[in-house]
A and B are shown apart, each in its own frame.
Chain A
Amino acid sequence: MRNDRSFIELRARERAHALLDEGSYRELLDPFEGIMSPWLPQQGVVPQSDDGMVVARGTINGQSAVVIAIEGTFQGGSMGEVSGAKMAAALELAAEDNRNGIPTQAVLCLETGGVRLQEANLGLAAIADIHAAIVDLRRYTPVVGIVAGTVGCFGGMSIAAALCSYLIVTREARLGLNGPQVIEQEAGIEEYDSRDRPFIWSMTGGEIRAESGLVDALVGDGINAVKAAMNDAIAKGVPAQDRSDKYEEYLARLTQFDTRQQADTAQIKQLFAREVK
């Protein structure tokens, strides 16, 4: 598919550009505003002038939109006080717009390891604000999450992804609550071998997440492919039931499942395949 340029290779700013209508891009709190992390310098870490978060207003198919894109190359896309507040604030304002009769669409490009540990509790608090804002906004307009890779989406931000109305992934994406190293640290190498990459992908990669129904679309790595999936998601409108509200279905599956064996690909397929009514 050489006629479709790679989306994964784009930085956050370029991703936002690519998703918005041509010529409509306007960045808010851009690097020249210089709102940086107040916590990194005192720990000997060089801050970045956008704190690794790009918020861009513009239009998608002619309609008012905001694209919020995490820069995965800055501190692993981790959520600090400022970067987290940028995403939360933009989502809060989008919800307010919709409440005031101004339809504003929202698309999130999620590439993050989760909380930035140098800002620990303030990162966690910002993520709680992001959860709150997504749940508020998705009542009015679909909130579309894109996890393209290669960082993936982990920690509290995997919960944010799971709160989105629709989720789009590529094969290079991983989506999971706990990073492999943390699981190995907490539960032992027998439980989770963080160096076994094929195993990690078989558990949390984009392909298995799509097969499990935990995401809505698996697309190839191309700007056009990602945009087409985004447009499809927006066209569907607010879902009749959000995935995060499907407790009946998931509890039925998880409660009945035999947990004497350890999980593998076959078990994942078995758990999610059967239609439980």
Chain B
Amino acid sequence: MMTQSNSRGAIWLEKLAPNAPRMSGLCPSVQVADGELNGESVRFIAVVPDANNHYPRAVKGEVGLLEGWTLAKVVNETIDADANSDVKRPIIAVIDVPSQAYGRREEAFGIHQALAGAAGAYAKARLAGHPVIGLIVGKAMSGAFLAHGYQANRLIAFNDQGVLVHAMGKDSAARITLRTVEALEKLAATIPPMAYDVSNYATLGLLSDLLNISNPDAPTDADLAQVLIILQQSVRDARLDPSLKNRLGAENRRSSALVRERMRASW
């Protein structure tokens, strides 16, 4: 089972903000550390496994009720703290989220609203001028990714088998589309938006960078140096454009651009 010690989110958070204290007063599955990038203070945020999670359907690093609302709290408080600063602090979401939490309490108590708290807060931060960068070091699945990372100005992913981006886990997707897992995998291999691997995902134009990291589970100093350079560059780029327009350039997403062009023409 994924534990905090072998979660990529936790590993990379520690690597990016070495020995930094964790922000207190949060649920243990949301870890926040302040670090430095190019001499500037930055806030790193990760969702990590918590075997003793108060909500038992969210022990493996899933984004659940507490995680969604806690992300909302952290990001909103960061916006408030910088409200009077001309230069807004970069926020870097370290992304390794296997899924949203699936459970009865989760639905009953409004997990959709908790995830909206998180997604809305990241979007507000971006609109307020904070460079928001999503660094995908592991899984970026479905509602969990929407809540933690998909609102970023820039998305960066590791080119690695442990990195998965998708709308639904394979077993459930097979059940819902009335296919076997084998049939789903075969089909997914030929349709880029259905694929589970990051190299197919990269063809959709949603990533600004795809990085070859030698050891994502135990990063070397060279791996870290490579990531830091890209993060600095992404922060610079993000300051030039708070929108998500930079995601619309790929051939495999040309309909998304075409719809916008036609909609504007007839608006």
Contact = CB atoms under 8 A, between A and B. Distances in A.
Interface of A: 28-29, 33, 35, 37-39, 42-43, 55, 57, 81-82, 84-86, 88-90, 92-93, 114-115, 117-129, 131-132, 135-136, 139, 155-156, 158-163, 175-179, 181-183, 185-187, 191-192, 203-204, 212, 214, 242-248, 250-251, 254-255, 257, 259, 262-264, 267-268, 271
- The SS class assigned to the A binding surface is helix
Interface stretch (B4-12, B15-23, B43-51, B256-264): B256-264
B87 interface: no
Contacts of A159: 112, 115-116, 119, 143, 146-147
A119 B193 contact: yes
Contacts, number: 268
A92 B260 contact: yes
Contact of A186 (B102, B108, B190, B267): B102
Given A135-B124, A244-B72, A122 B204 contact: yes
B263 A247 contact: no
Interchain residue pairs A-B with the least CB separation, the first 5: A162-B116, A158-B112, A85-B259, A135-B123, A128-B150
8 contacts: A42-B190, A93-B267, A120-B168, A125-B204, A156-B143, A245-B76, A251-B66, A251-B70
B112 A123 contact: no
Interface of B: 27, 54-57, 65-66, 69-70, 72-73, 76, 99-100, 102-117, 119-121, 123-124, 126-127, 142-143, 145-147, 150-151, 165-169, 171-173, 175-177, 187, 190-195, 201, 204, 206, 243-244, 247, 252-253, 255-256, 258-260, 262-264, 266-267
Main secondary structure of the interface of B (DSSP, over half): helix
B113 A247 contact: no
A81 B256 contact: yes
Given A124-B167, A177-B100, A185 B110 contact: no
B56 to A, nearest CB: 7
Contacts of A179: 176
A35 B259 contact: yes
B119 A163 contact: yes
Given A159-B146, A191-B103, A268-B109, A117 B176 contact: yes
A88 B244 CA distance: 11
